């Protein structure tokens, strides 16, 4: 399957906030920040199912792999909790805010061969 373009949004989740009490250096936290949420129809179009891995490339040259899950997001958009993988995809410009752009950025997503 060829790569597809999506609009990616990153943010914090309540589950991520609860897990931070345990710490960031554990498998549970890593699983949270390494999971992309897709609209179910987008997963089908991309040719992947929940639990499979995809590779994401950003316009800034970053690359990261994520596990897929279905969720309530609009078609054409994907959501991921902030974490080390999203940091690899973000640019370095903050436009004076202190944080790189993490909303509405275009990324390319492709399935990772098993």
Domains identified in the chain and CATH numbers: 4-111 (2.40.40.20)
Q: What is the pTM of this model?
A: 0.83
Band of the pLDDT at 22, cuts 50, 70, 90? low
Q: How confident is the model at residue 1 (pLDDT cuts 50, 70, 90)?
A: low
CA angle, 86 as apex, 31 and 46 as ends, to 5°? 75
The reported pLDDT for the residue numbered 109 is 96
- How many C-beta atoms lie closer than 10 Å to residue 3's C-beta? 15
């Amino acid at each position: 399957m060829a790569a597809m373009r999506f609009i990616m949004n990153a943010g914090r989740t309540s589950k991520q906030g609860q897990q931070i009490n345990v710490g960031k250096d554990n498998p549970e936290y890593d699983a949270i920040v390494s999971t992309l949420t897709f609209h179910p129809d987008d997963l089908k179009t991309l040719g992947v199912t929940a639990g499979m891995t995809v590779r994401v490339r950003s316009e800034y040259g970053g690359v990261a792999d994520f596990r897929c899950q279905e969720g309530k997001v609009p078609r054409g958009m994907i959501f991921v909790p902030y974490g080390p993988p999203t940091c690899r995809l973000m640019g370095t410009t903050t436009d004076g805010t202190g944080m790189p752009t993490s909303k509405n950025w275009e990324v390319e997503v492709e399935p990772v061969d098993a």
